[in-house]
Amino acid sequence: MASSIPLTSITLPGHRAPAAGFEAPFEMLGACHERVERMLGLLAKLQQHVRVRGWDDSVASATRDVMRYFDQAAPLHHEDEERHVFPPLLAGEDAALRQVVLRLQQDHRDMATAWAAARGVLASVAQAPPAGWAHFSPQEEATLTGFARLYDRHLREEDGLVYPAAQAGLSPQALQAMSADMMRRRGLEPA
């Protein structure tokens, strides 16, 4: 008998969040990337679980966690980057860096489109799957895997190149304004 794949080991409820707050906006952005990676890992685990064991309540729970993250947190994170990280780099003199940022902006648009398709696949099993459903179809698997793959290069370029360049160019006042805006858009009171 196939062993169960522990889907709950990386779900949102009860997970230990990285210790970063909005007072350090780039550290918070980095912590968001860690959460993205955990959610993509959870997505891969739930796909594997379905292949091996089929649908059960742990699949529904993991699916809802992934959907909640990419419905709520990911769009706010992308907006943080579009509002505060990308503009100074696009206005800068480094043409190669501008090209990277333009590609990252296109990634955000592509991710939104890919998420809509992936979300549709996940929504079909977030409760009980339709009668007769046994597993994700090859097309559904490709949709979920394709969505996850969009993040790989994107995260590496942001963490390794774009975030350091943007942070180095922002004044303490700009970082404080960035922090306050990130908090306000999440319904929190800036410090």
Q: What is the DSSP string of 174-188?
A: HHHHHHHHHHHHTT-
Side-chain-side CA neighbours of 44 within 13 Å: the count stands at 10
pLDDT attached to residue 37: 96
pLDDT attached to residue 188: 87
> What would be the CATH architecture of the domain defined by 23-126+137-185?
Up-down Bundle (1.20)
Confidence of residue 12 (pLDDT cuts 50, 70, 90): very low
1 token code pair: 């008998």
Q: State mean pLDDT over 3-26.
A: 56
Confidence of residue 20 (pLDDT cuts 50, 70, 90): low
pLDDT attached to residue 133: 87
Residue of 82, 70, 74 lying closest to 106 (CA atoms): 82
Integer Cα distance of 117 and 132 in angstroms = 22
- 117-167 pLDDT per residue, tens: 999 999 999 988 888 888 999 999 999 999 999 998 999 999 999 999 999
Side-chain-side CA neighbours of 162 within 13 Å: the count stands at 26
> What is the SS3 assignment for 173?
helix
Decide if 101 contacts 90 (C-beta within 8 A).
yes
For 182-190, the CB contacts below 8 A with 24+ separation are 182/22, 182/25, 182/28, 182/80, 182/84, 183/22, 185/76, 185/79, 186/76, 188/22, 190/22
**What global pTM score does this model have?**
0.86
pLDDT attached to residue 22: 80
Sketch the domain layout of the chain as residue ranges: 23-126+137-185
Q: What is the DSSP string of 71-113?
A: IIIHHHHHHHIIIIIHHHHHTSS-HHHHHHHHHHHHHHHHHHH
- 84-128 pLDDT per residue, tens: 999 999 999 999 999 999 999 999 999 999 999 999 999 999 988
